[in-house]
Structure formats: C-alpha cells, structure tokens
Amino acid sequence: MEKYLGIISGNLYRYTGGKLFIEDISAEKICKKFGTPLYVYSVGHIKNQISRIRNSFRRVNPLICYSMKANSNLRVLKLIRKQDCGVDIVSGGELAKALKAGFPAKKIVFAGVGKTEREIISAIKNGIFLFTVESVEELRAIDSIARKLRRVADISLRINVDVNVDTHHYTKTARKETKFGMPIKEVGSVLKNRQDFRHIRIKGIQFHLGSNIKNSAPYIEALSKVRDFLRRTDFRPSIIDIGGGFGIPYRDEKVESIESFGEKISGFFMKYFSEASIIFEPGRFIVGNAGILLTEIVYRKHTDTKNFLIVDAGMNDLIRPSLYGSYHEIIPVTKKSGRKIVYDIVGPVCETGDFLGKERLLSQDLSSGDLLAVMGAGAYGFSMSSNYNGRPKPAEVLVSGDRVICCRRREKIEDLWKYET
C-alpha cells in the first residue's frame, strides 16, 4: 500500500524542532520571503514520483506523457520534460505552453472532446505525436484539415470502455453516460472503414478511466475489454494509451502502490499486447503531493456552533474542497502545544462553500498571523485557480534542497483589470 508521504513520515515534508520543512527549508522562511497565500512545490518529490513510475513499469518501457492540466507552471513543465517525459494536452493553449517548455512535438498527445479547427491546424503543423480522437465528427474534421494541409495525422481512438471507478462523480470519465471517448461499437465501425480516412493513420487505442483511482483493477478490466474487442477486429494497434488517473493518498486512506500497479498492468500488457508500446498520462501522481498551499490566519471567530479559522487563501486559490468535497490535510507551520479544538478552516470569499477544511483538530492557541499548510495541493490547485472576488492569484515557488526560486510572481492588483477595455 501507498503510504501517505505527507508531513510527518516523509522526508521531503517534515517537522524539525516543531517547524515544518519543505526539503531543507522551513516553510516560515519561505513565507517571509514570498508572502501568502503561496504554492510551494518540491523538486525532489516530482523527480521521485517519475522515477517510481519508471521503475514500476520498467518491463514495458512506457512513454510517460505528463498531464499538464494538473500543474502547468513552466518551470514545473521543464523539470518534468528533463526527466524524459512527454506531455498530455487538451487545448491550443496547453500545446503552446508545452512547446514553450521545450517538449518535443513528437512526445505530445492531444486529448479532449472539443478540439477546434484552429487547435487541430496548429497541432498538425507542429507535428504532434498523436491526437486522441473522441468522436466520429472529430475524426472527419482532422482528416479534412490534414488533407488541406497535405499531411497525414497520427491518431489513437479513445474508447469509452464503460468501466466504473471509485472516485468522485465528476472525475469518472469512462462511464457510458459521460461525454468522453467513443462507444466500442462505433470504434469497430471506424476501424472497418478506416481506408475512408485517407489523411489519418490510426495507430493506437486510448482510454482514460478517471482521476485519483486507488487500485489497479479497473485498468485490468479496461485492458481486458480492449483485448476482447480487438480480437473481433483485424486491427493491431502499435500503441495502447491507458490514460492517467493513478491515485495518491491525501490522508491515511488505502491506495495501492505504484509498484503494485506496475506489476499488475505490466504483466497483463506483456501477455496480451506485447507487440504494442504503452503510454500513460499521469498528472496528479507526479505533482499532487509535491505541492502545498501556505496560508496565514487572518482572524479567529467563535460562534455558538463553530470555531472558525479565517485564512488568507480561499476557494479561488484551491477549489477542490468546495467543488468535490476533497480532503486536504491542514497542519500548522509551527507546532503549538495547547489543547486541540475543532475548527472549520475557511477563506475570505463570499460563499458558504468557501472552505479549505471542515472539523479539523488544531491547537486552541493558533491565532491571527500564524501560518497553516494545506497539503497535497500540487495537482489541480493553482491550475484551477481564479480571480473570483477580485483576488489576485498567489505566487508559486519551487524548492530544491535548501534553494527556493519563484516560478510565478504573485499577481498584482492591477492584473485584475489588465485585459479589460
């Protein structure tokens, strides 16, 4: 089982002398320099996670296409690119940013149900590795655009494998009723008529089951469905892309370890797909527990029913608790000795849904000016942030050993109206 790497037990986030350290720097020192709210990412953790995937799957030598929607800071992207990864994108914006971060076009896979003509043109012109095609209309569009450009586009077909996964309703993506991929039957008829698409080369099959999947069984179920389906066709894919979704622990919940995922998926893959190569698109696994959000307590408030800690980070900075009811551990940057009481940790945004944590046990001695760390905030944290309530986005910093660098400056108040005319 995957252990919660977080705070106390891990070596990258730990307490030393009652103070929270990220690698070799204290969180307090980082906050003094960069202010709050602040996203902090550990370089060491990101590198570790990538090498763990590589080791776990070494028998099948995967192409790891990092799903940049999880965290698309340029320096984070560059770091991941240097670990020999490709990238999974979902828009023209992500394509441009991936290229800017130096990813070779030949390691870019492009998913998404609504690729526009402009996005398709740009991806073809840049020579990306694969489009992950999600509908017949999209297939026709890519074929016709490639014809006009006198090119042939390489694609994989995304199958909606109708496999359920144990995760939040919003992040299940392989059920029949979701918008993603094509029903198996339709993929069958596309394959039968594949010579009609003269400017498309169908290279692979892709599926993506959902996000934060805590065991490997659904992957095996999906791969079995793909195997059974392919047996009924004359198509032999050279690529199987099993999407992303590898889960991480946010607290002490049970998550199958990546080593065990690797063991099981590699075994199945070598048995039934030994002719093909394999691609993964992990996002959360690589960056999720590499990041924390540091925030300062602004006020305390005690009512008949609640103790609130009102902090300077809100749902606009980290929306996961509000949107999915996600749990993020919240710990003090400096340990306090006093008795623990139950708090709701809330932001300054004008919505009751604006909270970072509910019913958390923390010291009664915490007060205004004290710092808290919201753990597991590296994935879908900053990348889902907004300016709601006129709030400039936080800064982001990277820590490596005892060095810290700013990788996105804090937005200024003037940035709030920069694009308005």
Query: Which backbone phi and psi does 298 adopt, to 5 degrees?
Result: -95, -50
- DSSP, collapsed to helix, strand or coil, labels residue 285 as helix
By CB under 6 A, name the binding residues for ligand LLP: 67, 70, 88, 111, 171, 208, 211-212, 243-246, 281-285, 320, 324, 379-380
CB of 169 to ligand LLP, least distance (A): 11
Interatomic CA distance for residues 264 and 262, integer angstroms:
6
Interatomic CA distance for residues 211 and 296, integer angstroms:
30
Q: Which residue, among 18, 39, 16, 19, has the nearest Cα to 27 in the 3D structure?
A: 19
Give the residue with the Cβ less far from ligand LLP, 41 or 246.
246
CB 303 within 8 A of CB 369: no
Other CB atoms within 10 A of residue 3 CB? 11
DSSP string, 84-95: T-EEEE-SHHHH
* Identity of the residue numbered 10: G
Size of the chain, expressed as the number of residues it contains: 421
Give the residue with the Cβ less far from ligand LLP, 146 or 379.
379
Other CB atoms within 10 A of residue 401 CB? 11
Give the residue with the Cβ less far from ligand LLP, 35 or 92.
92
Give the residue with the Cβ less far from ligand LLP, 138 or 296.
138
Q: Which residue, among 303, 284, 302, has the nearest Cα to 243 in the 3D structure?
A: 284
CB of 384 to ligand LLP, least distance (A): 6
Query: Which backbone phi and psi does 363 adopt, to 5 degrees?
Result: -60, 140
Give the residue with the Cβ less far from ligand LLP, 37 or 332.
37
CB of 312 to ligand LLP, least distance (A): 22
CB of 172 to ligand LLP, least distance (A): 10
DSSP string, 107-154: GEEE--TT--HHHHHHHHHHT-SEEEE-SHHHHHHHHHHHHHTT--EE
Give the residue with the Cβ less far from ligand LLP, 309 or 356.
356
Structure tokens at 58: 């070494």
CB of 411 to ligand LLP, least distance (A): 21
Distance separating the N- and C-terminal Cα atoms of the chain: 54
Catalytic residues: 350
Cα 394 off chain centre by: 19
CB of 167 to ligand LLP, least distance (A): 8
CB of 212 to ligand LLP, least distance (A): 6
Interatomic CA distance for residues 134 and 142, integer angstroms:
11
* Identity of the residue numbered 221: E
Q: Which residue has the tokens 């028998």?
A: 59
Give the residue with the Cβ less far from ligand LLP, 27 or 111.
111
Q: Say whether the peptide bond before residue 37 is cis (omega within 30 degrees of 0).
A: yes
